[in-house]
Structure 1
């Protein structure tokens, strides 16, 4: 089964929409959307701001993806680094 993910974000050039169709393969849609969002961020030479993420044209999963992003940040901040 495939899901369609639309990511709306702000860049220095204005509002942008990127979308794609992705197979679930036993994964939750918010994890797929988070990975897609990370790929978009990596390709941008400047900072971008997430507006919302829409699943299958009608479900807003922005908060779920932001929670995953925060969990990732917390993981990095809680690492016992030697410095």
Structure 2
């Protein structure tokens, strides 16, 4: 089973970094990172702002995670809304 190390940098009043290793289980690293980010936001504050997402010790996938998050917010009940 393949694993990925994800490091998320965000601000919620101050700058914070959280890191962990997660199994991919057939998912892309940005999908796993988005799930980790959602978990962080749920535990912290919905006012937390994502700054940077790194995998494997340095590869920046921040934009991929942000695009995936935006797409997910726009997709309501399986309908891809135009805004």
TM over 0.5: yes
Distance 2:3 2:75 in 1: 30
Match of 2:4 in 1: 3
Gaps of 5+ in 1: none
TM-score by length of 2: 0.85
What's the RMSD between the two structures over aligned residues?
A: 1.8
Distance 2:30 2:60 in 1: 10
Q: Is the 8 A contact 2:12 2:45 kept in 1?
A: no
Distance 1:73 1:6 in 2: 23
Match of 2:16 in 1: 16
TM-score by length of 1: 0.85
Gaps of 5+ in 2: none
Paired residues, number: 78
